[in-house]
Chain A
Amino acid sequence: MERRDFDEFYAAHFDDIARAISLAAGERDLARDATQEAFARALRRWRTVRDMDRPDGWVYVVAMNQLRDHWRRLERSRPSEPGVLDNNGSVVTRLSVRDAIATLPPRQRQAVVLRYLADLPLADVASAMGCALGTVKATLHQALRAMRVELEEDDDADE
């Protein structure tokens, strides 16, 4: 039963999470490895993870930590050439979002992907990025300003 639980969870979320991590990482192989490692860790403590409100949120957080560790090991402040994203967008706004997100500093990019693609609560984004809630809000504000995105009034980046 427990085994099937995890297998279904993996099948349902691996692709989505890997795509989001890939957007944040800008490197497809790195994203796949980080996501796989995060799922491996989820398996090790599956009894705990499966009872969480958002088990997939936990995997996002751990995968993002893997990216951070990777970059720290490489001792570089940003990932290599950004823009390894797949395919060419045909819509102007999509192209500009692609470009805009690719040029963000890694931390801002991570925050945007976790908040607006993975739809994680701000507290989980903070935990994924290993920083305080206020720092996440500030980082998101900087990122949105850089991307020329207006924060809507009801958006909880401001909550």
Chain B
Amino acid sequence: MQTNELRGELHRLADEMEPFQGDLHGLRRREGKRTALLRVAAALLVVLTVAGGIALWSRGEKHVGVAKKEFTRADVRLDLVVVPGTERVREILEDSPSVARYAPLARGGVPVLPNSIVGPPALRDAACALRTSDGFAVEIRVRGAGDALLHVLGSDAKVFVLTDEPIDAQVFMKIGATPAQAQAVRAAIANDTTEVQSYRYLDHEASFAEFKRVFADQPALIESTTPDVLPESFRLVASDGTPSQVLVRRFEHLDGVDTVVASRSGIPDWTALYHAFGAVPDPADCGTP
């Protein structure tokens, strides 16, 4: 047999097969859904960071009362929400080395994200818990502080972890940023020893790991997301006395940088978060009141 005969035989073999029915409609539907989810996924990584600073911004230095770590609400970065707002919880927060600052949160102090949008589950849970109880906004000093607090507080209190590490600003690279651009941004951050106390680099895989952790209860979202659609980023801790906005201005214009989000971003209230989702808060979404 020669190759032209082989060609003919292969074509005949293929022709003898049962036809394959395509599913264009299914493909279009699946791709439409994927596109929508990816848009949400990319937005959420940014929103997660914004949520930490939203409403509780413009760090000041005023202590409240006799407690050393209690500040006004506007002066505390929202890393954790702890309920209930009892004296016992306040004492534990005051004594815990993991806690940098805290502020009382009144009942209903955090509005509830509507169920119709995909939001960080911890934020929704915290908002729902605050519908029936008061609590505290807590700014953490070290990574993993949420677990440490939960251990000390025991079963009487609930801890909602919005952010598990102290971050003053996060530099997000563009999705398609080149390795050289990421390297240049890293060098700029590493060289800025006066304003940056420390930083942590998250590559696509690390962002995806973070994404999976945050959305552990939403397998469909995780299933439809791949590491390559999540941006690389740098998480920055500012040197003492350096406002987050300085870090934003310092790094936002570098090549390959998509956006820099300050944890205390100056966004005045929660409505900004809802604008980001194009939705309005709906208290009915907590399920049982």
> Which of A31, A40, A98, A152 touches B13 (beta carbons < 8 Å)?
A98
> Which of A40, A119, A151, A157 touches B30 (beta carbons < 8 Å)?
A40
- Whether A89 touches B16, Cβ cut-off 8 Å, given contacts A40-B31, A43-B27, A117-B11, is yes
Q: Is B39 an interface residue (CB 8 A)?
A: no
Q: Is B23 an interface residue (CB 8 A)?
A: yes
Kindly list chain B residues whose C-beta atoms are within 8 Å of the C-beta of A40. Answer: 27, 30-31
Interface residues of B in 1-60 (CB under 8 A from A): 1-7, 9-20, 22-24, 26-28, 30-31
Residue of B nearest to A148 (CB): B1
Kindly list chain A residues whose C-beta atoms are within 8 Å of the C-beta of B19. Answer: 15
Residue of B nearest to A97 (CB): B9
Q: Is A66 an interface residue (CB 8 A)?
A: no
Q: Is A107 an interface residue (CB 8 A)?
A: no
Kindly list chain A residues whose C-beta atoms are within 8 Å of the C-beta of B5. Answer: 93, 149
Q: Is A14 an interface residue (CB 8 A)?
A: yes
Nearest chain A CB to B5 CB, angstrom units: 7
Q: Is the interface of B mostly helix, strand, loop or mixed?
A: helix
Nearest chain B CB to A23 CB, angstrom units: 6
**Pairwise interchain contact A14-B22, C-beta atoms closer than 8 A:** yes
Interface residues of B in 216-260 (CB under 8 A from A): none
Kindly list chain A residues whose C-beta atoms are within 8 Å of the C-beta of B10. Answer: 23, 97, 101, 112-113, 116-117
Q: How many residues of B contact A (CB 8 A)?
A: 27
Q: How many residues of A contact B (CB 8 A)?
A: 43
Kindly list chain B residues whose C-beta atoms are within 8 Å of the C-beta of A86. Answer: 16-18
Residue of B nearest to A117 (CB): B10
Q: Is A87 an interface residue (CB 8 A)?
A: yes
Nearest chain A CB to B14 CB, angstrom units: 4
Kindly list chain A residues whose C-beta atoms are within 8 Å of the C-beta of B4. Answer: 152
Q: Is A61 an interface residue (CB 8 A)?
A: no
Q: Is A39 an interface residue (CB 8 A)?
A: yes
Q: Is A36 an interface residue (CB 8 A)?
A: yes
**Pairwise interchain contact A14-B20, C-beta atoms closer than 8 A:** yes
**Pairwise interchain contact B3-A18, C-beta atoms closer than 8 A:** no
Residue of A nearest to B6 (CB): A149
**Pairwise interchain contact A116-B20, C-beta atoms closer than 8 A:** no
**Pairwise interchain contact B1-A117, C-beta atoms closer than 8 A:** no
**Pairwise interchain contact B24-A147, C-beta atoms closer than 8 A:** no
Nearest chain A CB to B13 CB, angstrom units: 6
**Pairwise interchain contact A22-B17, C-beta atoms closer than 8 A:** yes
18 contacts between A and B (CB under 8 A): A7-B24, A11-B22, A23-B10, A39-B22, A39-B27, A44-B31, A85-B13, A85-B17, A86-B17, A93-B5, A97-B10, A116-B10, A117-B11, A149-B1, A149-B6, A150-B2, A152-B4, A155-B3
Top 3 closest A-B pairs, CB basis? Answer: A18-B20, A14-B22, A19-B14
- A-side residues, CB < 8 A to B, are 7, 10-11, 14-16, 18-20, 22-23, 31-32, 35-36, 39-40, 43-44, 85-87, 89, 91, 93-94, 97-98, 101, 112-113, 116-117, 119, 144, 147-152, 155, 157
Given contacts A86-B18, A97-B9, A149-B6, 7 further A-B contacts (CB under 8 A): A14-B20, A43-B28, A94-B9, A94-B12, A97-B13, A113-B10, A149-B3
